[in-house]
A and B are shown apart, each in its own frame.
Chain A
Amino acid sequence: MSAPSSGRLWRVAVLSPPLIWTFVFMFIPYSILFVYSFWEQVYPTFQPAFQFGNYLQIITDPQYFNVLSRTLKIALFVSLGAMLVAFPYAYFLVFKVKSAALRQVLYMAVVAPLWVSYLLRAYTWKTILGTTGILNSFLMSIGVLSEPSSVFLYNQTAMIVTLIYVFIPFMVMPIYAVLEKIPKSLTEASNDLGVGRLRTFFLVTLPLSIPGIVAGFTMTFCLTFGDFIAPFLVGGPDGLMVANVIASQFGAALNWPLGAALALVMMLIVLTIVTISDRFEQLGKGKFA
């Protein structure tokens, strides 16, 4: 360092924009959100206060408790479903496809839809599953149904299918990454030692791929947990999720304090899951490094 003063100047120039930005647009907004969650609603507006009424309402009012548990349930089903589709696909790519070019193409085939609008990918399911939709009219034209059925759209199943479809790339990517890193010699050695293929899978491949499964699961879970577009498009009256309720508190219901409290509960749940999954990954790293 020939000129320490200019070095310091450079450091300040590099550091200040991101520091100021994160302080003004992240730290302060999150703090205000936190403060708002203790305010109280005095219809038709709200006023400063320090009380836990909003949090109490979330816990005691079955309306909010049900929405929270429903969101958790749907996020769980979506993550599980995505995993059941993504794991065999990633496994096939890594262990069964011999041509590197084909593997690349099949990998891109899953990741590419991420570049296509999320909203449109959810919308197309609405056109497929609706009463006057393509699935109904197709089933009628081949004689399976005599009249359009409304069972396909506006329910939790439709939401789960749509969300699996939308978020599946986030599950395939990390699972593929860990499977690819497993040395082929390991499974071969296991086979050579006379261990059956099924047991090799459960004793070698599956344990080594757990960090990828956990990462994909976490990502899919968090994305689903905060989604408010799929419920709006394909969810029914029993399909509202936490994000929809938060959005309505900041919109028509005009109860920002309650919305803020709900958002903080959502934040807490997501951060807890991320922390647990981080710990898990660290554990995995220590074991295999």
Chain B
Amino acid sequence: MTTNFAKSSRSGHGKWLGGIERLSWLLGILAILGFLYLPIAVLVAYSFNDSRSLTWPMSGLTLDWYQKLSQNDQLIQAFYNSVYVAVSATSLTLIIGIPAAIALDRFDFPGKGLFRKLILLPIALPGIITGISMLILFRSLGFNLSLQAVIVGHATALLSVVVTLVYARLQRLPASLAEASADLGASGLQTFFLVTLPNIRTAVIGAGMLAFTLSFDEIPVTFFLTGRDNTLPMYIWSTLRRGLTPEINAIGTLIVAMSIVLIFASVLLLRDKTKSKNV
């Protein structure tokens, strides 16, 4: 496994040292993987635990918590709210973010530096700052806090993610493509839909999937902008205030399952990209 292993294995002493080295690497990496996955395993395992308390050892297996979930109207409503928010915010952030990335890549205009800084700011800035500054804006304008306010907040915070990913792809796309299209008489709109968009397709899909996941999971912005309606993370958050129940583990397990599907989808997309590159 190690490159240096072959070199040092000439003497018996070296072989022994190499073995020790390999073993300690292996144990270290296993420890890190354990650190990463034991908590997730605990989350999943205890969703099937036959007892209210989360203690070792598990008392027995049950599907009761999942049954409870399916009857929890508040939770199901929160889930639908989250889907509504994430789909809307993702669409909005793509509609604003793709032109923004094109503008940053292709155009020169006064204030471009400030525009770039502003639009990328939320990447480094804690979400709470986007949350409170938009709370103040909506309050000063007299708007009510609502899921729509949350959508605007998410779209703004996620703009930086979309712009970064799409801009990176545009940079690798030769400008001559769009120029040739324009020279041949295509309008800006035609060039965008027939030349630019097909070439940045995977970056757009990737950015959209990431934006959806981040929005679905978002708390800091939602916390300040939501009215009476809860998103799923906010619902879980308010349940946690009341105490721990295996019901939360059951929600968690479903989310883990959903994440695994998304991960596989994104890996497949990535594979598609490398294939098309070779052609």
Interface residues of A (CB under 8 A from B): 1-3, 6-7, 9-11, 13-15, 17-19, 21-22, 25-30, 32-33, 36, 85, 88-89, 92, 95-98, 106, 108-110, 112-113, 115-121, 123-128, 130, 132-138, 141, 165, 168, 197, 218, 222-223, 225-229, 233, 243, 246-247, 250, 256, 259-260, 263, 266-267, 270-271, 274
Contact = CB atoms under 8 A, between A and B. Distances in A.
Contacts of B133: 29-30, 32-33, 263
Give the contact-size bracket for chain B: 35 or more
Given A96-B3, A127-B244, A271-B124, 8 more contacts: A29-B134, A88-B29, A97-B1, A113-B40, A115-B262, A128-B39, A134-B55, A243-B220
Contacts of A116: 40, 255-256, 259
A137 B256 contact: no
22 contacts: A2-B182, A14-B102, A15-B109, A22-B100, A32-B140, A33-B136, A95-B3, A108-B263, A112-B259, A113-B40, A117-B236, A117-B259, A124-B43, A127-B42, A130-B244, A136-B55, A137-B57, A165-B35, A165-B39, A226-B128, A243-B220, A260-B136
Interface of B: 1-4, 25, 28-29, 32-33, 35-37, 39-40, 42-43, 46, 53-57, 95-97, 99-100, 102-103, 107, 109, 115, 118-119, 121, 124-130, 132-137, 140, 152, 156, 159, 182-183, 185, 187-189, 213, 217, 219-220, 223-224, 233, 236-237, 240, 244, 248-249, 251-252, 255-256, 259, 262-263, 267
A228 B188 contact: no
A222 B126 contact: yes
Contacts, number: 225
Contacts of B140: 32
Contact of A133 (B33, B55, B96, B129): B55
Nearest to B163: A18
B56 A134 contact: yes
Given A33-B133, A85-B32, A134-B42, A227 B96 contact: no
The 6 closest A-B pairs by CB, nearest first: A226-B126, A10-B188, A18-B100, A29-B133, A137-B55, A138-B56
Contact of B36 (A168, A243, A246): A168
Contacts of A106: 29
A56 to B, nearest CB: 21
A113 B125 contact: no
A174 to B, nearest CB: 13
B136 A32 contact: yes
A119 B236 contact: yes
A247 B128 contact: yes
Contacts of A126: 240, 244
Contacts of A14: 99, 102-103, 107, 188
Contacts of A13: 99, 188
A30 B157 CA distance: 13
Nearest to A111: B263
B95 A243 contact: no
Most buried by A among B56, B130, B252: B56
B96 A118 contact: no
B54 A134 contact: yes
A137 B51 CA distance: 14
Nearest to B134: A29
Given A138-B56, A226-B129, A250-B224, A25 B156 contact: yes
B106 to A, nearest CB: 8
B83 to A, nearest CB: 14
Nearest to B28: A88
Given A123-B236, A270-B125, A247 B36 contact: no
B136 A29 contact: yes
B54 A132 contact: yes
A119 B259 CA distance: 14
A127 B54 contact: yes
B134 to A, nearest CB: 5
Contacts of A227: 126
B36 A259 contact: no
Most buried by A among B132, B140, B220, B262: B132
B113 to A, nearest CB: 13
A198 B267 CA distance: 36
Contact of A197 (B4, B28, B183): B4
Contacts of A119: 217, 219, 233, 236-237
Contacts of A250: 132, 135, 224
A97 B22 CA distance: 11
A15 B40 contact: no
Nearest to B43: A124
Contacts of B36: 109-110, 113, 165, 168
A118 B136 contact: no
